[in-house]
Amino acid sequence: MANVAVVGAQWGDEGKGKIVDWLSERADVVVRFQGGHNAGHTLVIGNVEYRLSLLPSGVVRPGKLSIIGNGVVVDPWAFFREIETLAGKGVVITPETLQVADNAVLILPLHGELDRAREEARGAARLGTTGRGIGPAYEDKVARRALRVCDLAEPETLDRKIEELLRHHNALRLGFGMDLLTADALRAELAGVSERLLQFARPVWRTLDEARRAGRRILFEGAQAAMLDVDHGTYPYVTSSNTVAGQAATGSGLGPTAVGTVLGIAKAYTTRVGSGPFPTELTDATGERLGERGREFGTVTGRKRRCGWFDAVMVRQAMKVAGITGIALTKLDVLDGMPEIQVCTGYRLDGELIDHFPAGMGKQARCEPVYETLEGWTESTRGARSWAELPATAIKYVRRIEELVETPVQLLSTSPEREDTILMRDPFAD
């Protein structure tokens, strides 16, 4: 049986939470491999809604081992707040059910403060970050001055690392007119979480290797999406990590051969939160309708999402750079009742027809969508659980998307309820 990596195929918010939850029932281990607590996943199980930001979606399922991999940046305070929130809904999380990579980088309060100060200084040119410190934490990681989970267990080296970290951050804070930080103050903050966090710390690469050797099914859970990838996305309007399937291996400590099927999640239309290019964006009544019917507000930030038609050019590109082998198409029901539906099949850039999303920031902003118009459907698809329950024109729409993005649809979601899912091919069986 194949292990499965789940990645977003657009700009995030594609409904990964539901799909990962649906798959987690069939998995033994669920691993988050990148991002931080800026990644919102909403799960609906029965009548209970769970909103997760940092924790893997498997934590709400009894009998599953959940892992936060080394590719994730971990805010200890957010980590424990999320655990406490879930406890209030009856979900008990212990070091036996959740492990945190001992080599994962920590997000500290100073990271969030720097993140917000930079966004404020950018003014109208804001990137649209969540201000939670994810980017600055990744910066410290690649600059080799970050604090990691394992450092909390080594007081003899922690002091030296704190001093080095503050040399850099205090220089930045001085430039932004912020108060300078002291090593004593940071140590005091860490003292309040260190002992408790270390209870969850493990060399998770070894845990995962043992699980793989034992034939246990591993589900790799990505955050954000391919077009927010720091290399392959709409730079600089991207996240601070690699979001493609290759990161599932690097960010968990398993080799690439351990990642089998790569399932890309895509909405039946397109949304984006924050700034950046969006060729198919609709600022008219149709865009408003998509937003209202799809309840398009960010799980983490509550920000209203921008909405537009399905962009097959962008998704096809995501399929290739992210290594996606199958699609989970979500929110088909949001398109119910539309007499016509448009799909972007190309871009016009400075008078020339192109078939890909260019890398340049200026070119991306000048891309104009070229549409193909498809017949809509008046019947409801909401709650459909079999192919036979779908209107013929809805089936044609799904098939046309498969053709345009050159990837088969394996799962089709027709409502937020986890059981309202049509399975064409089991990703774990590939």
Catalytic residues: 13, 41
Distance between CA 218 and CA 419 in Å, rounded? 21
3-state helix, strand, coil in the chain (%, to 5): 40, 20, 40
Tokens of 351: 């008078």
- φ, ψ of residue 93 in degrees (nearest 5): -115, 130
Distance between CA 95 and CA 102 in Å, rounded? 13
The answer to whether 230 and 321 have CB atoms below 8 angstroms apart is: no
Task: Please tell me what DSSP assigns to residue 244.
Answer: S
Strands (DSSP E) found in 129-224: 201-202, 218-221
Distance between CA 160 and CA 198 in Å, rounded? 20
The answer to whether 200 and 215 have CB atoms below 8 angstroms apart is: no
Q: Hunting for tokens 């400075």 — which residue is that?
A: 350
- φ, ψ of residue 270 in degrees (nearest 5): -130, 140
Distance between CA 80 and CA 71 in Å, rounded? 19
Q: Which residues of 114-148 are buried (b: 16+ CB within 10 A; e: fewer)?
A: bbbbbbeeeeeeebebbbbbbbbbbebbeeebbbb
